[in-house]
Amino acid sequence: MLGISNIFNKDYPEFWKKYTESFKFKATKYVVISLETSGIDPEKDVIMAIAATSVIGNRIIIKDSFELFIQRINENSSELTNEFITVNKFEKISENDAIVTLLNYLSNSIIIGHRVNFDIEMLDKCLSRMKLGKIRNEAYDIEAMFNKLQETNDKSYSLEHMGKALKINLSDRNSVSDDAYSIALLFLKLKDKLGIQ
């Protein structure tokens, strides 16, 4: 019986308790996320960088944004496993610290992303490695929103294509934070056109 008792009385970390308890309340903001990953297979690829920015009402809150770079070490040696990290001069943190930072920032917000289901799947894999549950936030995908606006079904659209169609000048995309800002701009336009509050 000790095993069953341990399952139900698991002592979760404070950040996870705070995150799960936040869903007792209504979301007050959108959070745009963008991930840099080592590939597109959630089973074997990992997150290299995360950027997030808040959208409240019809404004992108630039000062309430962040970009994190994750340190990747080969388990069999102290060598870095990815060239992206080797050439990147920004400070890098552990995957666990990055996830804690993101969930503290997210709280119960509605997540916005481009092909957001993939992003959530990648984040869920990180949480699984931490022996925690899954992302609980509601999420909107700007590609799905654009499909709705165009009255198309399941078509893939790049950020550049959507920007051109919506007459939005997107800046050069040199980082995950540039992508997050571009996604936020597109979301605001799509939200307005689709009448989303």
For residue 89, the model assigns a pLDDT of: 63
Residue 79 pLDDT > 90, yes or no?
A: no
Residue 157 pLDDT > 60, yes or no?
A: yes
Confidence of residue 113 (pLDDT cuts 50, 70, 90): very high
| Chain segment 177-193, per-residue pLDDT in tens | 999 999 999 999 999 99
Q: Which CATH architecture has domain 26-194?
A: 2-Layer Sandwich (3.30)
pTM (two decimals): 0.87
- What average pLDDT score do residues 151-172 get? 92
What are the residue boundaries of the structural domains of the chain, listed by start?
26-194
| Chain segment 8-62, per-residue pLDDT in tens | 556 899 999 999 999 999 999 999 999 999 999 999 999 999 999 999 999 999 9
Residue 158 pLDDT > 90, yes or no?
A: yes
| Chain segment 119-146, per-residue pLDDT in tens | 999 999 999 999 999 999 999 999 999 9
- b/e code 14-48 from CB counts within 10 Å (16+ = b): eebeebeebeeeebeebbbbbbbbbeeebeeebbb
Closest CA to 112 of 153, 146, 163: 146
Residue 3 pLDDT > 60, yes or no?
A: no
DSSP string, 101-114: HHHHHHTTPEEEES
Question: Tokens representing 138?
Answer: 């509601």
For residue 90, the model assigns a pLDDT of: 73
